[in-house]
Amino acid sequence: MIPESVTVIGGGVAGMSAACALAEVGFRVQLVEARGYLGGRASSYLHPGVNEVIDNCQHALFGCCTNLLGFYRRIGVAERIHWTSQMTMIEPGGRRSRLGPFEWGSLRLPAPLHSAPSLLSAKAFTVADKLALGRAMMAMMKPEALNDTRESLGAWLRRHKQTEGALNRFWRLVIASALNAEIDSIAVPYAAKVIRELFLNSAQAGSMGMSTVPLSELYAGVTAFLAERGGSVLLNTRVEGAAWDEDAAQWLVCTRTGELVSDFVILALPFEATQKLLPHLPVEEGTEKLARQIERLEHWPICSVHLWFDREITDLEHAVLLDREIHWMYNQSKLQTGRGGHYIELVVSATRSFAALPREAAIQLALCELAEFFPRVREARLEKVALVKEMRATFGVPPGIDSARPTAVSPWPNLFLAGDWTSTGWPSTMESAARSGHLAADALGMSAETPLHCFEADLKPHGLMNFLGRLSNH
Ligand SMILES: Cc1cc2nc3c(=O)[nH]c(=O)nc-3n(C[C@H](O)[C@H](O)[C@H](O)COP(=O)(O)OP(=O)(O)OC[C@H]3O[C@@H](n4cnc5c(N)ncnc54)[C@H](O)[C@@H]3O)c2cc1C
């Protein structure tokens, strides 16, 4: 059989996952990317100001990211992820609390109790905070928490009588880190999903992974992977439109440098780029609805401050910083292999006010705050610094958002939609992007009468969580 051809437009995680999955089962795939490198919003590049290759921001993944890990395994880079189950929370002044699964020799606690001892002993929370958190976690275990798409998390938390400490040091922080938004802008099922996966379902699901190499290096094998299977990657190639040739049953994809012909297309673009392309695609029933869906999606920014000091300011690999604008500290000299120097990255999520600060003010604020957690900062000399503001980092998931997220099946023949913003059930993450890529590949397979099974199922919850899950399915 002559392999059928596919043009995948967009070389982010969604496009790469779809392209590699389809190439593996015999499709001839062209992956087309506007920039000069792969990775999209999860990539690295040489920053001219500091002359260092940096990620556009630290990207964390979790054990529950089954599709992202499936993609990494497919291209042979899964072992380049460093895993940890322990999280250090630091208060201004330096007091530390450790969160993570309980381990005593070979003794482990069953889910959902595996992290309970560390939460109960965390100094960052008062007894009232811990009781409030316990109550809310138990409510999040109920199936209703996954179904109520109308209430905001903020309203839900007020209803479940959360203390100021629980709100500020747990909910706002976890939601900003995992969903990059404020609690009043989040639908309860998305929060429940995150809480269940990170804290309740199993220790494996909640373990955190970080790349040990700059992000674009992770994808270096994608070009060879596709080439070995008859495909190719076209970089620096912006797609400007596409036309469907009814007679040949093929797509003609227009780029500035010429036309690409293929049997199928996967559009794996961010929502705003998809919106821009809509007027340059054939008019079909359903195009208007898609345009209206996209109009409802909204961006949230993420900022990162990259600092090189003349000495070590902490021996921690990473930490959660409480009660301040900065949320995370990543010690990149320890996390990324082969990095010399003393390179610290700070991440500020879900704060539009920080993103609006001028460069110098943002850097000064970050340095002042960092010194409150790590006093050695005051003696250290700052050698160089880069500030990266990603104003279109992620999309929000407020109540009612699911009806604005289209499935992989599009209004056009033989054209499928992917991208983190499509209907995956996940918030704006690399896992959502990888899921969307695999869902689009499976939908394409159905249409080509070649059933595929690219989509990777969720991890099974452990212990009582598994029992509760089975109970609610009956
Ligand atoms: C600062 C920041 C921090 C983040 N932190 C995390 C994190 O810790 N963990 C996590 O899981 N997720 C994180 N995310 C979210 C994650 O990066 C995204 O959800 C994911 O990368 C989206 O992938 P995608 O393939 O759907 O879209 P994109 O990555 O946006 O890929 C789309 C690609 O299409 C290309 N393109 C656009 N227009 C055209 C065109 N006309 N022709 C051809 N190509 C085109 C773009 O250049 C891009 O490469 C973060 C995002 C940002 C920005």
Closest ligand 1 atom, CA of 276? 41
CA distances from 427 to 280, 373, 431 (A): 28, 30, 9
Largest Cα–Cα separation, the chain: 72
SS3 50: coil
273 lines ligand 1 (CB under 6 A): yes
In whole angstroms, give the CA distance from residue 149 to residue 56.
32
194 lines ligand 1 (CB under 6 A): no
35 lines ligand 1 (CB under 6 A): yes
392 lines ligand 1 (CB under 6 A): no
CB distance 72 to 275 below 8 Å? no
11 lines ligand 1 (CB under 6 A): yes
Determine the distance separating the centroid of ligand 1 and the alpha carbon of 11, expressed in angstroms: 9
The H or E element that residue 416 is part of is: strand 415-418
pLDDT of residue 468: 78
pLDDT of residue 467: 83
Determine the distance separating the centroid of ligand 1 and the alpha carbon of 389, expressed in angstroms: 14
Closest ligand 1 atom, CA of 432? 19
SS3 231: coil
pLDDT of residue 340: 86
**Which of 207, 212, 268 is closest to 61 using CA atoms?**
207
Structure tokens at 308: 């090189």
From atom 13 of ligand 1, which residue's Cα is the shortest distance away? Answer: 429
CB distance 358 to 290 below 8 Å? no
In whole angstroms, give the CA distance from residue 371 to residue 313.
9
103 lines ligand 1 (CB under 6 A): no
Structure tokens at 299: 């961006």
Within 8 A by CB and 6+ apart from 104, the residues are none
pLDDT of residue 470: 75
Q: Please, what are the averages of pLDDT over each run of 10 residues along the chain (474 residues)?
A: 87 98 97 97 96 97 98 97 96 96 90 93 97 95 82 95 97 93 94 94 96 95 97 98 97 96 98 98 95 96 97 97 96 94 95 92 98 98 97 95 97 98 97 98 95 96 84 65
270 lines ligand 1 (CB under 6 A): yes
56, 59, 233, best to mutate for ligand 1 pocket (most atoms within 8 Å of CB): 59
From atom 12 of ligand 1, which residue's Cα is the shortest distance away? Answer: 429
pLDDT of residue 149: 78
345 lines ligand 1 (CB under 6 A): no
In whole angstroms, give the CA distance from residue 413 to residue 430.
27
Cis peptide before 112 (omega within 30 of 0): yes
CA atoms within 13 A on the CB side of 454: 31
SS3 91: coil
